[in-house]
Amino acid sequence: MEMTTARKITNTAWFGLTDAAFEMKAGFCQRFVRQVVQKALGGRFNGYWRDTADKTARAFLGSRFVVHEAGFGAAGDLLYWYGSGNQTAGHVAINLDGARVAHNSVTDRWDAESGHKGTRLISRLRAPDLIIRLSVV
Protein backbone atom coordinates (compact mmCIF):
# COMPACT_ATOMS: atom_id res chain seq x y z
CA MET A 1 0.00 0.00 0.00
CA GLU A 2 1.37 3.40 -0.98
CA MET A 3 1.87 6.00 1.72
CA THR A 4 -0.47 9.01 1.52
CA THR A 5 0.81 12.49 0.75
CA ALA A 6 0.00 13.64 4.29
CA ARG A 7 1.83 10.69 5.85
CA LYS A 8 4.90 11.33 3.69
CA ILE A 9 4.97 14.95 4.85
CA THR A 10 4.47 14.18 8.55
CA ASN A 11 7.01 11.33 8.59
CA THR A 12 9.58 13.56 6.91
CA ALA A 13 8.81 16.46 9.27
CA TRP A 14 9.44 14.25 12.31
CA PHE A 15 12.73 13.14 10.77
CA GLY A 16 13.66 16.69 9.79
CA LEU A 17 13.34 18.01 13.33
CA THR A 18 16.58 16.29 14.32
CA ASP A 19 18.44 15.58 11.07
CA ALA A 20 21.24 18.05 10.28
CA ALA A 21 20.42 17.91 6.56
CA PHE A 22 17.34 20.03 7.33
CA GLU A 23 17.52 23.71 8.30
CA MET A 24 18.91 23.89 11.84
CA LYS A 25 19.19 27.66 12.22
CA ALA A 26 16.28 29.03 14.21
CA GLY A 27 13.92 31.34 12.39
CA PHE A 28 14.07 29.82 8.94
CA CYS A 29 10.54 28.42 9.09
CA GLN A 30 9.89 28.58 5.34
CA ARG A 31 13.19 26.92 4.44
CA PHE A 32 12.53 24.10 6.92
CA VAL A 33 9.00 23.49 5.56
CA ARG A 34 10.25 23.61 1.95
CA GLN A 35 12.99 21.09 2.74
CA VAL A 36 10.48 18.74 4.36
CA VAL A 37 8.08 18.88 1.41
CA GLN A 38 10.84 18.51 -1.18
CA LYS A 39 12.29 15.49 0.63
CA ALA A 40 8.83 13.93 1.03
CA LEU A 41 7.34 14.71 -2.38
CA GLY A 42 10.18 15.75 -4.66
CA GLY A 43 10.20 18.95 -6.67
CA ARG A 44 6.60 18.96 -7.89
CA PHE A 45 5.77 22.06 -5.80
CA ASN A 46 8.94 24.02 -6.60
CA GLY A 47 6.93 26.62 -8.52
CA TYR A 48 5.36 27.79 -5.25
CA TRP A 49 8.42 28.07 -3.01
CA ARG A 50 9.83 31.53 -2.35
CA ASP A 51 12.49 32.79 0.04
CA THR A 52 10.04 33.75 2.81
CA ALA A 53 6.84 32.38 4.30
CA ASP A 54 5.16 35.63 3.24
CA LYS A 55 5.97 35.20 -0.45
CA THR A 56 5.24 31.46 -0.48
CA ALA A 57 1.80 31.96 1.10
CA ARG A 58 0.96 34.48 -1.62
CA ALA A 59 2.13 32.04 -4.30
CA PHE A 60 -0.29 29.39 -2.95
CA LEU A 61 -3.26 31.78 -2.72
CA GLY A 62 -5.73 31.00 -5.47
CA SER A 63 -4.35 27.49 -5.96
CA ARG A 64 -6.36 24.31 -5.56
CA PHE A 65 -4.32 23.57 -2.43
CA VAL A 66 -5.97 26.25 -0.24
CA VAL A 67 -8.25 24.68 2.37
CA HIS A 68 -11.36 26.66 3.24
CA GLU A 69 -12.18 25.39 6.72
CA ALA A 70 -11.85 26.61 10.27
CA GLY A 71 -9.37 25.17 12.71
CA PHE A 72 -5.96 23.68 12.10
CA GLY A 73 -6.66 21.46 9.11
CA ALA A 74 -5.38 17.90 9.07
CA ALA A 75 -2.07 16.12 9.55
CA GLY A 76 0.33 17.05 6.76
CA ASP A 77 -1.20 20.48 6.13
CA LEU A 78 1.01 23.56 5.91
CA LEU A 79 -0.22 26.24 8.31
CA TYR A 80 0.48 29.94 7.70
CA TRP A 81 -0.05 32.78 10.17
CA TYR A 82 -0.21 36.35 8.93
CA GLY A 83 1.87 39.03 10.56
CA SER A 84 0.13 41.64 12.69
CA GLY A 85 -1.74 44.20 10.66
CA ASN A 86 -0.01 43.69 7.35
CA GLN A 87 -1.75 40.54 6.06
CA THR A 88 1.48 38.78 5.17
CA ALA A 89 2.44 35.34 6.39
CA GLY A 90 4.72 35.73 9.37
CA HIS A 91 5.18 32.03 10.14
CA VAL A 92 4.62 28.57 8.69
CA ALA A 93 4.46 25.17 10.36
CA ILE A 94 3.37 21.64 9.53
CA ASN A 95 0.40 19.99 11.26
CA LEU A 96 1.88 16.73 12.53
CA ASP A 97 -1.06 14.88 14.01
CA GLY A 98 -3.86 17.28 14.89
CA ALA A 99 -2.31 17.97 18.29
CA ARG A 100 1.17 19.27 17.40
CA VAL A 101 2.98 21.23 14.72
CA ALA A 102 6.58 21.00 13.53
CA HIS A 103 8.20 24.39 13.04
CA ASN A 104 11.34 26.48 13.18
CA SER A 105 10.80 29.78 14.98
CA VAL A 106 13.07 32.64 16.02
CA THR A 107 10.89 34.61 18.42
CA ASP A 108 8.61 33.91 21.34
CA ARG A 109 5.80 35.51 19.36
CA TRP A 110 5.11 32.04 17.93
CA ASP A 111 6.19 29.86 20.83
CA ALA A 112 7.32 30.09 24.41
CA GLU A 113 11.01 29.65 23.62
CA SER A 114 13.12 31.92 21.49
CA GLY A 115 15.06 30.16 18.73
CA HIS A 116 13.04 26.97 18.82
CA LYS A 117 13.04 24.20 16.21
CA GLY A 118 10.75 21.41 17.25
CA THR A 119 7.13 20.70 18.01
CA ARG A 120 4.54 22.92 19.61
CA LEU A 121 1.11 21.97 20.92
CA ILE A 122 -1.64 23.26 18.66
CA SER A 123 -3.61 24.21 21.78
CA ARG A 124 -0.97 26.90 22.46
CA LEU A 125 -1.42 28.54 19.05
CA ARG A 126 -4.15 30.62 17.50
CA ALA A 127 -5.80 29.19 14.42
CA PRO A 128 -3.80 29.72 11.23
CA ASP A 129 -4.84 32.30 8.66
CA LEU A 130 -4.12 30.04 5.70
CA ILE A 131 -4.11 26.25 5.38
CA ILE A 132 -2.44 24.51 2.44
CA ARG A 133 -3.15 20.83 1.76
CA LEU A 134 -0.77 19.46 -0.83
CA SER A 135 -1.99 16.75 -3.15
CA VAL A 136 -0.09 14.84 -5.79
CA VAL A 137 -3.24 13.73 -7.63
* Residue 74 burial (C-beta neighbours within 10 Å; 0-12, 13-18, 19+): middle
Task: Give tens-digit pLDDT for 39-73.
Answer: 999 999 999 999 888 889 989 998 999 999 889 99
Total-model pTM: 0.88
Ranges of each domain in the chain: 5-132
CATH ID of 5-132, from 1.10.3470, 3.90.1720, 2.30.30, 1.10.10? 3.90.1720
**Measured CA distances, 47 to 3, 12, 19, 44 (Å):** 24, 20, 25, 8
